[in-house]
Amino acid sequence: MGSGKRSLTTAAMALACACACVALATPGVAYASPTPTPTRTPTATPKPVSNNDLEEVRKKLDKLYHQASVATDAYNAAEEKAQKQSAEIVDLAREIVKGQAKLDKLKDRAGAAARAQYRGGGLPPEARLWLSDDPQEFLDGAGRVRQGEHAAKGLLAEMTRTQQDLEQYAKDASAQWKKLEANRKAKAEAKKKIKERIAAAEKLESQLEEKEKERLAKLEEEAAYQAQTTWLSSGILAEINGKASEQGKKAVKYATGQMGKPYEWGAEGPDSYDCSGLTSQAWASAGHGIPRTSQEQWKQLTHVDIKDMRPGDLIIYFDDASHVGMYVGDGAVVHAPRPGRTVTITGAGSMPILGVVRPDA
């Protein structure tokens, strides 16, 4: 019995140890270290942009692109002036070269006259008469001398005028160089402003989602449509019935033929245009040159009443004449709108009209 009890006790202890080992080896029991559960950060849902917010964006974009358009006109004007000044400087340089060659010839003639006088000894006429063996020969010679003296005086006067002309040419050239340098600075400043405004506008647009950009485009269309509707509601279209001139037809054909080509500030085609680049090239293609910028087109071309306009006429927009389109009839214009857009046809009254000008008045 003793040995049996000992055996049972030993077996019981062994069984208890085995159970304990199994329990320690089983995962998920109290003896195992707890594994931390990862915490999920809730994803923030972007707040939708309201129509009011998009309308504010549209107004800001309009303002930035309008400022860029004004700067573009300033750049184009400076570029046009610089081209004219460069041409004038070249012309002046040619005149200086010709004047210098003329002065050199006059100096040669003056030198020859001086040498002839030196060979005559420089004696006064009374002395030469006293020394002469033939008085008649002396008198004939004296007549030639008087003629020579008159010629010499004329030669000296011509030399003086030529010298004065050369000095004036040099002054004019210097003045043109100063103007050219000033226009180069104006161009650089305008170019900087253009890039700044366009970059700001592009940054503003880049912050919008694709759906928001689509909504913004619709807001732009709606604003243009409302402006056009207001303009047409005045009954103005019923009064406009002018027929295009032959040159006007050619200009319209050229301008509408550029539809779909991108806007690019300072561009005059053939692959891209800004607003006045399109209108000036259209009329150049019709054989009638006009100023390069919308502001100069407004200043220099003949003004006509809106009710009297005809296809080919130019409609100038905004109080500062910073935009231009070409009237094509039926209350519409073809124009190059702004960066990011292409040459297109839109309502003539979709923008604030300053007035109408006629290139071939």
In three-state secondary structure terms, 76 is helix
DSSP state letter for 235: T
Question: In 120-134, where does DSSP find H-type helix?
Answer: 125-131
Which one of 66, 275, 288, 303 is the catalytic residue?
275
Q: Give Cβ neighbours of residue 193 (< 8 Å, ≥ 6 apart).
A: 67, 68, 71, 74
Tokens 């305008």 belong to residue = 190
Residue 145 CA to residue 129 CA, distance in Å, equals: 13
> Quick check: is 335 catalytic?
yes
Beta bridge pairs of residue 273? 263, 268
> Quick check: is 303 catalytic?
no
Note whether 273 and 266 are within 8 A (CB). no
| Helical axes 51-119 vs 135-206, angle rounded to 10° | 170
Beta bridge pairs of residue 304? 356
> Quick check: is 288 catalytic?
no
Q: Which active-site residues does the annotation give?
A: 275, 323, 335
